[in-house]
Structure 1
Amino acid sequence: MTVVVAHRGNSSVAPQNTLAAFEAAWRAGAGSIEIDVQLTADGQVVVIHDDTLDATTSGSGPVAGTDLAGVRSLDAGAWFAPAYAGQRVPTFAEVVDLLLRRPGIDLLLEVKGAWTAEQVRGVTEPVLAAGLADRVVVQSIWPGTVAALREAAPGLRRGLLVLEVRDDLLDLCAELDVVTCNPYGPLLAADPGLVDRLHAAGREVTVWTLNEPEHWAAAVALGVDGVITDRPDRLAGWLAARVPTPVA
């Protein structure tokens, strides 16, 4: 069964990477939530995609140049719609709490940028302490960050995001010991055999970010394990409609 992965939560109906979007993803029937984490100036882990505050908050400037209190003081919902005014940039601790309260959904956690092993412990240790290792995959597009995740928590499942199909991709996945290799959607159209090669190497494949039924159909036909989408509600319905109704 193809897993529905809600990109930054149900980001088509609620402001991305907020608790409202994560709750909406759970209610939409997503199997997993994809989130992005960055470090504040005082080394705290917060959930936001960009390395600046400008696009999705009432603030401006780099996330890494603002302390946690400053980030938390900002509005992260009004840009999307007035009804979401007052949403905050979540801390990673709030995401862990949400997973504990919503046992039916998993987490695909993207670490943005180059982090050291000491820095990634800010996400790996809370996951392990909460007993959530079987529901979380930590990933990055930076191989060095994936290596840091391996060093910090070798038992935690890891993934590698890819924007290009390198000649040594399978070797890199083996070196980093990832469970999943997650390609950008157009890569599958350009290289339809990629999913089979990754599966043969023992890796799962979750493709990003697909929002149209024709793209879902093409990915599912190739055998992907999951689809990251901004429309988890629609994808869940589309997948359900493809399951044959049992004959009485």
Structure 2
Amino acid sequence: MTRVVAHRGNSWVAPQNTLAAFEAAARGGAHCIELDVQLTSDGHVVVIHDDTLDATTTGSGWLKDTTLAEVRDLDAGSWFSPAYAGQRVPLLDEVIELLLRHPSLDLLCEVKGEWTPDEAVRVTRPLRAAGLADRVVVQSFWPGTVGALRTADPDLRRGLLLGDVGPDVLGLCAALDVVMANPHGLLLQQDPSLVARLHDAGLRVAVWTLDEPTDWAAAVALGVDEIITDRPDHLAGWLAGGAV
């Protein structure tokens, strides 16, 4: 069965990477939510995609130069719709609370940028302490960050995001001891054998970010394990309707 992963929550109907979007994903039939974590200037883990605040909050400037108190004072919902005014940039701890309220919902957690092991433990430790290890995969585009996550918690499942595929991709996945390799959808068009090669190496595959039925059908035909989408409720309905 192909699993539905809600990209930054149900970001088609609610502001991305907010608790409202994650709740909407749970109601919409997603098996898993995908989100992005970064650190504030004072070392707190918050859920936001961009390095800057401008696109999805009422703030501006670099997140890395902003304290948690300053980030939490921002509105992260009104840019999407006035109905979501007052949504905040979530803490990782708030997402953990949401996952505990929705025991059927898993987490695909992207760690943005280069992190050290001491920084990575700020993500792995609370997930482990909450008893969520069997429901979480932590991932990154940055091999060094995946390595830091391994050092922080060797037994927490990890994934490598693929924006391109070099000749050493399978060796890199083996060296990082990941359980997932998650490619951009265009890579499947360019190399239809990619999913089979990753599966043969013992890896699960979640493809991103596909929002149209024609792309869903192509990905399912290639055998992907999970589809990351901005439209998880639509994808769940499409799959339930026996469209493939």
With the length of structure 1 as denominator, give the TM-score of the two structures.
0.98
Is the counterpart of residue 118 in structure 1 residue 139 in structure 2?
no
For residues 51-92 of structure 1, the C-alpha deviation after alignment (integer angstroms, 9 at most, x for no partner) is 000000000000000000000000000000000000000000
Equivalent residue letter for 2:3:
V
Equivalent residue letter for 2:210:
L
CA distance in 2, matches of 1:169, 1:110: 19
Match of 1:227 in 2: 227
How large is the Cα RMSD of the aligned pairs?
A: 0.8
Match of 2:32 in 1: 32
Match of 2:102 in 1: 102
Please show how residues 163-182 of structure 1 align to structure 2 within 5 Å.
Answer: 163-182=163-182
Indicate the SS of the match to 1:110.
strand
For residues 14-67 of structure 1, the C-alpha deviation after alignment (integer angstroms, 9 at most, x for no partner) is 000000000000000100000000100000000000000000000000000000
CA distance in 2, matches of 1:87, 1:117: 31
Equivalent residue letter for 1:63:
L
Equivalent residue letter for 1:193:
S
Match of 2:22 in 1: 22
Please show how residues 58-207 of structure 1 align to structure 2 within 5 Å.
Answer: 58-207=58-207
Equivalent residue letter for 1:19:
L
Indicate the SS of the match to 1:126.
helix
Equivalent residue letter for 1:188:
L
> Identical aligned pairs, as a percentage?
70
Indicate the SS of the match to 2:149.
helix
Indicate the SS of the match to 2:5.
strand
**Tell me, which stretches of 5 or more residues in structure 1 are unaligned?**
none
CA distance in 2, matches of 1:200, 1:83: 47
Equivalent residue letter for 1:190:
Q
Match of 1:49 in 2: 49
**Tell me, which stretches of 5 or more residues in structure 2 are unaligned?**
none
Indicate the SS of the match to 1:242.
coil
CA distance in 2, matches of 1:242, 1:157: 31
CA distance in 2, matches of 1:83, 1:57: 15
CA distance in 1, matches of 2:152, 2:183: 24
Indicate the SS of the match to 1:182.
strand
Is the counterpart of residue 238 in structure 1 residue 238 in structure 2?
yes
Equivalent residue letter for 1:56:
T
CA distance in 2, matches of 1:243, 1:52: 39
Number of residue pairs the alignment of both structures matches: 244
Equivalent residue letter for 2:50:
D
CA distance in 2, matches of 1:204, 1:22: 23
Equivalent residue letter for 1:78:
S
Equivalent residue letter for 2:195:
V
CA distance in 2, matches of 1:92, 1:164: 29
With the length of structure 2 as denominator, give the TM-score of the two structures.
0.99
- Is the alpha carbon distance of 1:194 and 1:3 closer, same or farther for their aligned partners in structure 2, counting shifts above 3 Å? same
Equivalent residue letter for 1:92:
L
Q: CA deviation at 1:243?
A: 7.1
Indicate the SS of the match to 1:224.
coil
Q: CA deviation at 1:104?
A: 1.1
For residues 105-146 of structure 1, the C-alpha deviation after alignment (integer angstroms, 9 at most, x for no partner) is 000000000000000111100010011000000000000000
